[in-house]
Chains A and B, each alone.
Chain A
Amino acid sequence: MSRSLLVAASVEEALGELAGGARAVAGGTDLVVGARQGKAPLPERLVAVHRLAELATMEEADGVLRLGAGVTHARVAADLRVRARLAALADASTIVGSHATRAQGTIGGNVMNASPAADTVGPLICFGASLRLRSASASRTVPLEGFATGPGTTAAEPGELLEAVEIPLPGEGAGSAYLRLDYRRQMEIAVVGVAALVRLDGGRVADARVAITALAPTVRRVPDAEEILAGTTGGADTLEALGEAVAAASRPISDVRGSAAYRSAMAAVIARRAVQAALERAR
């Protein structure tokens, strides 16, 4: 069949195209770039979702911030609720690509592209985010953790559109941070990234979440590191052990941005700094 691109005027119209085998495009900052790099050709049938106002909403209700999949990184980074209560996500959304990327690229695109180096995914996993997926015939909500099944692949069914990312807002005493090792101040892809969320109670870590970026085939949590943090005050010895645990859990690749050995070594450093920043924000 011939090439087509439908600019969807409603979610229903987009879902109809997706059911027919189309691939969704929003900002194009991954899909089009990937095609030009020769990673994957542009799909023959495309449905553009960038005009859908229903996907561009940000709403807070019952302690959950619901970000429409079409909300741009620039809007996430500027949102005062995100900056105050989901600081790790603000950290990540502020450094994705460049101003040009952030003006067009969306949080939904970052999730669905399933890059092992996706900046926003580590923070979202730490916050326990869920994904609202919809097809022409059904809707479902799934945890973001475990949604990516490998580099560029997800558990989404054919025909499913990501409608929204739902993020439970952390309670009192929480602090979070996302830190990335990079070489360039814009248009950079994480060499190593670590997201951390801690909740302090009486000066001790009551809950901890640590997730690694560009260190494994998918962005994922490091349970060993979380256990090391739990119940401590986050002192130097704890952070040392935490760094070692993160490095041990890393399965990085070697590529133009860094060797596997370098990434593992830096994983410990970036993990310590990310957790330290989260602790400082929680205090």
Chain B
Amino acid sequence: MKVAATLTVNGVDYPVELDPHTTLLRAIREHVGLTGSKEGCDDSECGACMVLLDDEPVNSCSYLALQAEGRRITTVEGLAGGSGLSPLQQAFLEHGGVQCGFCTPGMLISATALLRRTPSPSEDDVRIALSGNLCRCTGYDGIVKAVLDVAGR
């Protein structure tokens, strides 16, 4: 049986009707219609589905959507401000932190959570924080440089 709920994504309330087993990732992609968050492993290994829940990171493939009701959900679409890309997004482009782009939404969310937690991280802090996010293209260096660049400003 479907359950009526409201998911608050990037500051907007979305009324949805969900099977209780629906994951947050599926709800965001298929019911809310925001497809920035990706399904990589669907196994909580790769972090491509990562979003923020009340400013804390969560692998949305492994979280039940109905548990997110009443909480603030932030996806990659919510990182950019009215004036354009966020500093992290811009830095990813400048440092070659994006190739195929599939891991990028999760990487940006993970890095956003890191900088909120640790505004001046060391390179090791960044590498550890992002090691829950797998990238098969960049070799990570561009991503790490981008995060350190923004942190150093």
Decide if B56 touches A4 in the complex (CB within 8 Å).
no
The smallest beta-carbon distance between B115 and chain A, in angstroms, is: 12
Chain B residues near A272: list those with CB within 8 A.
none
Could you tell me if B21 and A99 are in contact, using CB atoms closer than 8 angstroms?
no
- Check B63 against A99 for contact (C-beta < 8 Å): no
Contacts of A5 in B (CB 8 A): 3, 20-21, 64, 66-67
Q: Is A140 located at the chain interface by the 8 A CB criterion?
A: no
- The reply on A103 being an interface residue by CB < 8 A is yes
Which residue of B19, B21, B43, B59 is within 8 Å of A100 (Cβ)?
B59
- In this assembly, does B35 line the interface, its C-beta being within 8 Å of a C-beta of chain A? no
Q: How many A-B pairs with Cβ below 8 Å?
A: 96
What is the minimal beta-carbon distance from B71 to any residue of chain A, in angstroms? 9
Name the contact of B43 in the complex, choosing from A33, A48, A186 (C-beta under 8 A): A33
Interface residues on A, range: 20 to 34
Chain B interface mostly: mixed
Verify if B100 is at the interface (C-beta below 8 Å from A). Answer: no
Known: A3-B1, A3-B21, A104-B53. A28 touches B132 (CB 8 A): no
Interface membership of A259, Cβ < 8 A: no
> Chain A residue with minimal CB distance to B61?
A36
Residues of A within 8 A of B (CB): 2-5, 7, 25, 27-29, 32-33, 35-37, 42, 46, 48, 50, 74, 97-101, 103-104, 184-187
Could you tell me which B residues sit within 8 Å of A by CB distance?
A: 1, 3, 19-21, 23, 42-45, 47, 50, 53, 56-59, 61-64, 66-67, 69, 110, 113-114, 117, 127-129, 131-132
17 contacts between A and B (CB under 8 A): A4-B1, A5-B64, A29-B62, A32-B61, A35-B21, A50-B67, A97-B44, A97-B132, A98-B47, A99-B110, A99-B129, A100-B57, A101-B44, A104-B58, A185-B127, A186-B131, A187-B47
